[in-house]
């Protein structure tokens, strides 16, 4: 059994949110009743941005609240969607009169509760647009079903939409920027070991020493197949091979590349993956225009990594480069 730093497991999420807000008092406020975090100084006369989902993926989503990204982030319990009432109150808090874009990872509970809240906000005369993020290549299926899961591209969508809203774009334009980003980005993940829910203390799955979980989900979902454990270059190839095949990129295409730790991967390990990705992509005739390397969309303490590729154009590059100040991202 793995030990965790925790008080009452039932109070884990609210106490962690309180700690985040207390440690960033210049940026954040906590609305404890409905468990959402908002900007301390809400921007006026702009499209609002709200996102959220189950906890356990920190710093997503609350760590992305601030100037140039989200106005409000709403948190459910670990790996559990926030309720429709939470989403409703968070959406109301994000509205300054020009409508609200709701950024939603494609998980059944998240989608359902955001849509319920979306219907109710119509009665409040709050105009809303939902942007669905579904970048997980491992769940791409030609025979229907719930579709691809939303994973690390969520932070890209939050960043681009946040910049557009900060620059005064209209509701429909902000939503369209997010949808284009979600449609063009793809992510592949692998895990060397599973995450451990704090209330349970047992890993969500077990692997043999020679195995990796290739295509693992950020809720600890098992993958459709196992990969072979090898060195950092080989593991990076196992992530990039399906991404490059799916995206079919033309030589010379400029990319945004996110190398994302899933919880307990060290910065040294992520550096090795970034190095390998750089050399592989350059060898494929592609250009990495922008990088983000770190642990941003996690799965508790899962030991693993994901790579997200998204083609860049002048607009998305400008929005990515736009100033941002949040607990997790600042430039």
* SS3 labels along the chain: CCCCCCCCHHHHHHHHHHHHHHHCCCCEEEECCCCEEEECCCCCCCCEEEEEEEECCCCCCHHHECECCECEEEEEEECCCCCHHHHHHHHHHHCCCCCEEEEEECCHHHHHHHHHHHHHHHHCCCCEEEEEECCEHHHCCCCCCCCCCCCCHHHHHHHHHHHHHHCCCCHHHHHHHHHHHHHHCEEEEEEEECCCCCCCCCCCCCCCCCEEEECCCCCCCCCCEEEECCCHHHHHHHHHHHHHHHHCCCCCCEEEEEEEECECCCHHHHHHHHHHHHHHHHHCCCEEEEEEEECCCCCCCEEEEEEEEEECCHHHHHHHHCCCECCCCEC
Distance CA 158, CA 329 (A): 11
Nearest CA to 162 among 18, 308, 25, 39? Answer: 39
pLDDT of residue 134: 97
Contact 29, 38 (CB under 8 A): yes
Using one digit for the tens of pLDDT, what is the confidence trace for 108-137? 999 999 999 988 887 788 999 999 999 999
Query: Contact, 160 vs 316, CB < 8 A?
Result: yes
Show Cβ contacts of residue 19 under 8 Å, excluding neighbours closer than 6 positions: none
57 is catalytic: yes
Give pLDDT tens digits for 19-44.
999 999 999 999 999 999 999 987 78
Q: Which residues of the chain have pLDDT under 50?
A: none
pLDDT for 30: 98
Out of 219, 278, 279, 303, pick the active-site residue.
Answer: 219
- The predicted structure's pLDDT at residue 131: 99
The catalytic position among 24, 57, 61, 303 is 57
- What is the distance between the alpha carbons of residues 80 and 129, in angstroms, rounded to a whole number? 23
Tokens 């730093």, residue?
5
> Is 34 part of the annotated catalytic residue set?
no
pTM flag (> 0.85): yes
Q: Which domains does the chain have, with CATH numbers?
A: 13-184 (3.40.50.10440), 186-320 (3.30.1180.20)
Question: Among candidates 157, 179, 186, 181, which has minimal Cα distance to 50?
Answer: 157
pLDDT value at position 290?
A: 98
Q: Are 285 and 124 in contact (CB under 8 A)?
A: no
């Amino acid at each position: 059994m793995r030990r965790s730093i925790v008080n009452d497991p039932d109070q884990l999420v609210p106490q962690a949110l309180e700690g985040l807000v207390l440690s960033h008092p210049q940026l954040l406020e906590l609305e404890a009743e409905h468990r959402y975090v908002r900007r301390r100084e809400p921007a006026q006369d702009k499209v609002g941005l709200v996102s959220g989902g189950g906890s356990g993926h920190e710093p997503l989503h609350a760590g992305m609240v601030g100037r140039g990204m989200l106005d409000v982030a709403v948190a459910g319990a670990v790996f559990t969607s926030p309720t429709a009432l939470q989403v409703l109150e968070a959406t109301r808090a994000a509205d300054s009169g020009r409508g609200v874009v709701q950024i939603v990872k494609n998980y059944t509970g998240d989608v359902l509760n955001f849509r319920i809240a979306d219907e109710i906000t119509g009665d409040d005369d709050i105009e809303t647009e939902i942007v669905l993020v579904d970048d997980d290549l491992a769940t791409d299926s030609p025979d229907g079903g719930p579709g691809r899961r939303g994973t690390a591209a969520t932070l890209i969508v939050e960043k681009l939409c946040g910049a557009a809203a900060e620059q005064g774009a209209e509701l429909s334009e902000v939503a369209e920027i997010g949808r284009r980003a979600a449609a063009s980005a793809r992510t592949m993940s692998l895990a060397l070991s599973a995450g451990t829910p704090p209330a349970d203390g047992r890993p969500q799955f077990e692997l043999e020493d020679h195995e990796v979980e290739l295509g693992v989900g950020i809720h600890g979902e098992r993958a459709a197949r196992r990969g072979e454990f090898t060195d950092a270059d080989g593991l990076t190839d196992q992530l990039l091979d399906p991404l490059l095949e799916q995206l079919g990129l033309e030589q010379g295409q400029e990319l945004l590349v996110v190398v994302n730790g899933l919880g307990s991967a060290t910065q040294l390990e992520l550096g090795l993956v970034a190095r390998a990705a750089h050399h592989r992509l350059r060898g494929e005739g592609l250009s990495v225009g922008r990088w983000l390397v770190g642990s941003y969309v996690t799965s508790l303490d899962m030991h693993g990594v994901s790579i997200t590729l998204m083609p860049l154009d002048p607009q998305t590059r400008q929005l990515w480069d736009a100033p941002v100040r949040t607990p997790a991202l600042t430039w």
